[in-house]
């Protein structure tokens, strides 16, 4: 299991494939996605890699995070999150910057983000209710819910009843999306189809859990070391040593 990345959603556009057909893609940008900490089995009880992305003024950063960034010797980040790993062999050194070629074209990924908030909405928009009839005595309340409870027994509305309320702004995961193209120089990841969230949303991307990872995908990942070392190669041959680890230790 490899770590994922944190990217910012820039919007959608369309590109053309080899057959000349246009494909709608979502453009995600890696903006300073760096390793800010490790979680190990001995000290924390689980194994995870902590990543930070974006930039934030130090005066607008809470003191605990300022201490975290100072310890990792990285600039304050706009967002910090963790990616669980199976073992400590998949950890990447603190300060290394993840690059876009961490993924390869054609790879399946799972994307997690917060959906667009739509505020307080009625039952027809929120739950796809059909509404009341347009005739036979119905007036004014065509878009109402209708009955929400029972009569004297039990005489109440059950919890969880689908009613009007807040819609959107929920964390969702879209599985098995396809990487259409990767631009490592510009730090862009282009994914076929739509991705949850509005423009500017921070998105988590990681290998699909229901699909096999391509052999070309680098392990433990593609990154640039803190001292400016080269990014890890696209893949390491089985008989060779782990070049990614060498690049991280350089």
DSSP assignments along 88-100, one per residue: GGG---TT-EE-G
Cα pseudo-dihedral 152, 153, 156, 157, rounded to 10: -120
Does residue 191 contact residue 179 with C-beta atoms inside 8 Å? yes
Q: How confident is the model at residue 149, as a pLDDT?
A: 87
Q: How confident is the model at residue 41, as a pLDDT?
A: 92
| CATH class of segment(s) 5-117+170-249 | mainly beta
Does residue 131 contact residue 67 with C-beta atoms inside 8 Å? no
32-55: string of b/e by CB count within 10 Å (b at 16+)?
bbbbbbbbeeeeeeebbbbbbbbe
Does residue 54 contact residue 32 with C-beta atoms inside 8 Å? yes
Residue 49 pairs in a beta bridge with: 38, 83
Q: How confident is the model at residue 225, as a pLDDT?
A: 86
Q: How many whole angstroms separate alpha carbon 245 and alpha carbon 38?
A: 15
Residue spans of the domains in the chain: they are: 5-117+170-249, 118-167
Q: How confident is the model at residue 53, as a pLDDT?
A: 95
Does residue 29 contact residue 187 with C-beta atoms inside 8 Å? yes
Q: How confident is the model at residue 221, as a pLDDT?
A: 86
**Beta carbons within 8 Å of 14's beta carbon, 6+ residues apart:** 22, 23, 24, 25
C-alpha dihedral sign at 128, 134, 136, 139:
positive
pTM of the model: 0.81
Q: How many whole angstroms separate alpha carbon 167 and alpha carbon 61?
A: 30
Q: How many whole angstroms separate alpha carbon 125 and alpha carbon 206?
A: 31
**Per residue of the chain (250 residues), what is the pLDDT tens digit?**
899 999 999 999 999 998 999 999 999 999 999 999 999 999 999 999 999 999 999 999 999 999 999 999 999 999 999 999 988 888 999 999 999 999 999 999 999 999 999 999 999 999 999 999 999 999 999 999 998 888 888 889 999 999 999 999 999 999 999 999 999 999 999 999 999 999 999 999 999 999 999 999 998 888 988 775 554 444 444 444 444 444 444 3
Helix (H, G, I), strand (E, B) or coil at 77: coil
């Amino acid at each position: 299991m490899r770590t994922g990345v944190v990217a910012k959603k820039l919007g959608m556009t369309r590109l053309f494939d080899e057959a000349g057909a246009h494909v709608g893609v979502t453009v995600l940008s890696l903006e300073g996605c760096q390793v800010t900490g490790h979680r190990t089995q001995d000290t924390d009880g689980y194994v995870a890699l902590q990543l930070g992305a974006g930039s934030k003024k130090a005066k607008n950063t809470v003191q605990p995070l300022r201490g975290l960034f100072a310890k990792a010797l990285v600039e304050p980040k706009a967002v910090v999150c963790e990616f669980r790993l199976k073992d400590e062999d998949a950890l990447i050194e603190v300060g290394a910057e993840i690059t876009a070629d961490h993924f390869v074209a054609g790879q399946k990924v799972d994307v997690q983000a917060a959906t667009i908030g739509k505020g307080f909405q009625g039952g027809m928009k929120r739950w796809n209710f059909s509404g009341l009839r347009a005739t036979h005595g119905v007036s004014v309340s065509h878009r109402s819910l209708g009955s929400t409870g029972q009569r004297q027994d039990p005489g109440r509305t059950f919890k969880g009843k689908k009613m009007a309320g807040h819609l959107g702004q929920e964390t969702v995961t879209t599985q098995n999306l396809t990487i259409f193209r990767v631009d490592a120089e510009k730090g862009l990841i282009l994914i076929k189809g739509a991705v949850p969230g509005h423009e500017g949303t921070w998105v988590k991307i990681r290998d699909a859990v229901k699909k096999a990872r391509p052999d070309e995908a680098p392990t433990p990942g593609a990154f640039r070391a803190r001292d400016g070392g080269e990014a890890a190669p696209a893949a390491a041959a089985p008989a060779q040593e782990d070049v990614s680890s060498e690049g991280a230790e350089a």
